[in-house]
Amino acid sequence: GVGLMDADIYGPSVPAILGITETPQVVSGHIVPVLKHGVKVISMGFFIEEKQAVVWRGPMLAKALDEFLGNVAWGELDYLIVDLPPGTGDVQLSLCQKLALTGAVIVSTPQDVALQVAQKAITLFEMLKTPVLGIVENMSFYTCPHCGERDDIFGNGGTKRAAEAMGLAFLGELPLATSIRERGDRGLPSALDGESPQGRAFRAVAEQVAAQISIRTLKGELGGEIKLSF
């Protein structure tokens, strides 16, 4: 099974993107994650009002992560994917200190300014002894719906070159496409549309991430089974 923990505490958008309207139930004192599209999901978005702002400092963030890790009935999982906020803040620091993560996936747009921020995130994970599985290039290109011409709005190949320079795997590129936004607004992730170019792009990235985990596990670079207690 697959679990998705939305740890973007300040901007929890996963419930909306997945089209989740129900809230988690509490059974025997433990939170039962919502099952959607075959994925078990937990998010701060379930516990706050739609327009409510989260203005927590470090200790409160750490407490929320403790709840998500220790008091959610995840059950048996093959993968627990954690969606982190941008940058190098308290959430990243707390999570890496609390859990022996299999690895981090860095997502960046191609332009130099974004890649500089991504480099800082990579440095943080290296300091925290968390393996970096590779880099994904988001908003990689735009394809004109009328003429079919590709336009590299934010530059061409910047993320791939950066990955090579840092000795990291390039995990693939995701396009800038109206359909991704439209499906996300309707709660229908593009990855579910396996016949579209956008759906194939998301699936290709997922396959590359899984491959990196398998390769590193075979090499003995990653730890064994992680147990979440509750």
Catalogue all structural domains in the chain, each as residue range(s) with its CATH number: 1-99 (3.40.50.300), 101-230 (3.40.50.300)
Report the sign of the C-alpha dihedral through residues 173, 179, 181, 185, in that order: negative
Give tens-digit pLDDT for 97-127. Answer: 888 899 999 999 999 999 999 999 999 999 9
Tell me what pLDDT residue 87 has: 82
Residues 6+ positions from 53 with CB-CB distance below 8 Å: 10
Three-state secondary-structure class, residue 146: coil
The packing angle between helices 90-98 and 112-127, to 10°, is 30
Across 7-16, 75-84, 163-172, least confident range? 7-16
pTM attached to this predicted model: 0.88
**CB–CB of 6/14 below 8 Å?**
yes
Q: Is the pLDDT of residue 228 over 80?
A: no
Q: Is the pLDDT of residue 222 over 90?
A: no
Across the chain, mean pLDDT equals 89
Residues 6+ positions from 191 with CB-CB distance below 8 Å: 199, 202, 203, 206
